[in-house]
Amino acid sequence: MKRLRPAPLLLALAASAALATSPAPGPKLVLPFIADDYTRALAEARARKLPLFIESWAPW
Amino acid sequence: MRAYVFTDRSLARHAGRFVWLEIDTEKRKNAALKQRLGIPALPTFFILDPKDEHVALRWTGGATVSQLEKILDDGSAAVAASSGTPDESSPSADADRALFSADRLYGAGKYAEAAAGYQEALAAAPGEWPRYGRVVESLLFALGESDQQEACVRLAREAWPRLAKTPSAASVASYGLDAAVQLPDSVRERSAWNAELEQHAREVLADGSIPLAADDRSGLYISLLDSRKAAKDEAGARKVAEAWSAFLDGEAAKARNPSERTVFDSHRVSAYIEIGAPERAIPMLEQSERDFPDDYNPPARLAIAYRAMKRWKDGLAASDRALARVYGPRELGMMQVRADLYAGLADTAQARKTLEDAIAMADSMPPGHRSESTIATLKKKLEAMR
């Protein structure tokens, strides 16, 4: 856990709060993530009676 | 996380325990959900109870695989507890009950109340409570967010002996140091605490055996850098920046593929600028742009590096490429850089127009993407150009 407090301007402009994530194709994620569809994920969680895990991220 | 943690095969055994959703917070379609979840920083993970959609557990920041597994276990237990099935026979039942309640408040962004709940959980916890590290990290964050900096420092110092060799060590040292830097001069112990917490940070960085995420280590360098700058210790700050830069170069050199290597690009640009060597970022970013031609980040970072080098025209060319690929609120940051590049060329008219366009764009963003502080920053910058 970390990188939450306001960064100095220089860092804020150049770096993201956490080390960045590339949106480009890379190694495959091992968990079956549903992309950007909360309604579908919630419906599936209710149907399967499972908690819903959400990863919020940004490409920068 | 996506390059190093969510690709780890050992996580596959958790696939059936949750429904997994990823949201790109920069996409307009996710703006409303972003606002509803109240995401304080990225990445942030949420575990929701699908029955009523309440956030049972939230974790902000990176995590190692083992930390993530603890988060999954705790989130699962918190959802089960909200269904009325807690394990009352457990020796930590009281602490767990207080914790799940605090996690729920934390998930709702009620930081002062959550902090009180976490403190109650810690007070009720048995000696070897396995959730101690996770709870201390959440409490440190909640204290910081509710402007209880002195309490944050005290907790970081108190928890240090127990967490110094654990994956929580970097966060504890870093949160504590960040809070110490923000303490007013009227706090008598400020300097002593600052020195002590800097020492903790240096111990973590010197101990390669502590299992830490690379961004936690990088974040610790940033905390140290901020601390030395706050102390107006220019030589000390430069020394930290040089060590930070070397650390990031070493991590990037170990990357097994371009995706892993580019993870470090953003902090490397910052570190190179800090040590007065922005030109070192150019070959790295050019390589990243070749590896990922659809990604706006490499040219956006090139524009920042060129700005630091005063190569205004090269910066604008990189900015053109970045703006052609960008989406979401990130475009506003790029436009600020672009305005600086025009200003460097003494083209005040274009610099002003760029900022005016950025303000109009910021103003039209939907809730969840609209940021009043960003609008204020842009307006201040424009005003300074009059």
Contact A4 B25 (CB under 8 A): no
Q: Looking at the domain assignment, is residue A4 inside a domain?
A: no
Model confidence at A11, pLDDT cuts 50, 70, 90, reads: very low
Q: What is the mean pLDDT of residues B29-42?
A: 92
Cβ-Cβ contacts under 8 Å, A2 against chain B: 61-62, 170-171, 174-175, 215-216, 219-220
Q: What is the mean pLDDT of residues B76-90?
A: 76
Cβ-Cβ contacts under 8 Å, B45 against chain A: 53-56
Of B94, B91, B117, B92, the closest CA to residue B104 belongs to B117
Give the domain range for residue A33: 29-60
Q: Domain boundaries in chain B?
A: 1-130+137-145
A&B contacts, CB < 8 Å = 260
Task: Examine the pLDDT at B90 and tell me if it is beyond 80.
Answer: no
Which of the residue ranges B19-23, B41-45, B248-252, B313-317 would you say has the lowest mean pLDDT?
B41-45
Model confidence at B35, pLDDT cuts 50, 70, 90, reads: very high
Q: How far is CA B376 from the centre of its chain?
A: 22
Residue B116 amino acid letter: A
Model confidence at B177, pLDDT cuts 50, 70, 90, reads: very high
Q: What is the mean pLDDT of residues B196-221?
A: 92
Instruction: Name the 3-class secondary structure at A40.
Output: helix
Task: Examine the pLDDT at B54 and tell me if it is beyond 90.
Answer: yes
Contact A4 B269 (CB under 8 A): no
Residue A10 to chain B, least CA–CA distance (Å) = 7
Instruction: State the pTM of this model.
Output: 0.87
Contact A57 B1 (CB under 8 A): yes
Model confidence at B192, pLDDT cuts 50, 70, 90, reads: very high
Domains in chain A, number = 1
Contact A10 B274 (CB under 8 A): yes
Residue A5 to chain B, least CA–CA distance (Å) = 8
Strands of the sheet containing A33-35, edge to edge, are A33-35, B19-24, A52-57, B44-49, B54-60
Percent of chain B at pLDDT above 70?
98
Burial of A15 (0-12, 13-18, 19+ CB in 10 A): buried
Span A14-40, pLDDT tens digits: 444 456 554 445 567 789 999 999 999
Contact B267 A19 (CB under 8 A): yes
Task: Examine the pLDDT at B346 and tell me if it is beyond 50.
Answer: yes
- Beta bridge partners of residue B21, listed in sequence order: A34, A54
Residue B14 to chain A, least CA–CA distance (Å) = 8
Q: What is the mean pLDDT of residues B48-64?
A: 91
Q: Compare CB distances from A32 to B15, B23, B56 and report the shortest one's residue.
A: B15
Helix count and strand count (H, E) for chain A: 2, 2
Q: Looking at the domain assignment, is residue A60 inside a domain?
A: yes
Q: What was the pLDDT predicted at A7?
A: 35
Q: Looking at the domain assignment, is residue A12 inside a domain?
A: no
Q: Compare CB distances from B42 to A27, A31, A58 and report the shortest one's residue.
A: A58
Phi, psi of B47 (to 5 degrees): -120, 115
Name which residue leads in pLDDT, B194 or B386: B194
Task: Examine the pLDDT at B82 and tell me if it is beyond 90.
Answer: no
Name which residue leads in pLDDT, B87 or B70: B70
Span B300-344, pLDDT tens digits: 999 999 999 999 999 999 999 999 999 999 999 999 999 999 999
Contact B48 A45 (CB under 8 A): yes
Strands A52-57 and B19-24: parallel
Name which residue leads in pLDDT, B356 or B9: B356
Q: What is the mean pLDDT of residues B372-386?
A: 94
Contact A19 B47 (CB under 8 A): no
What do you get for the CA distance between the two ends of chain B, in Å? Answer: 43
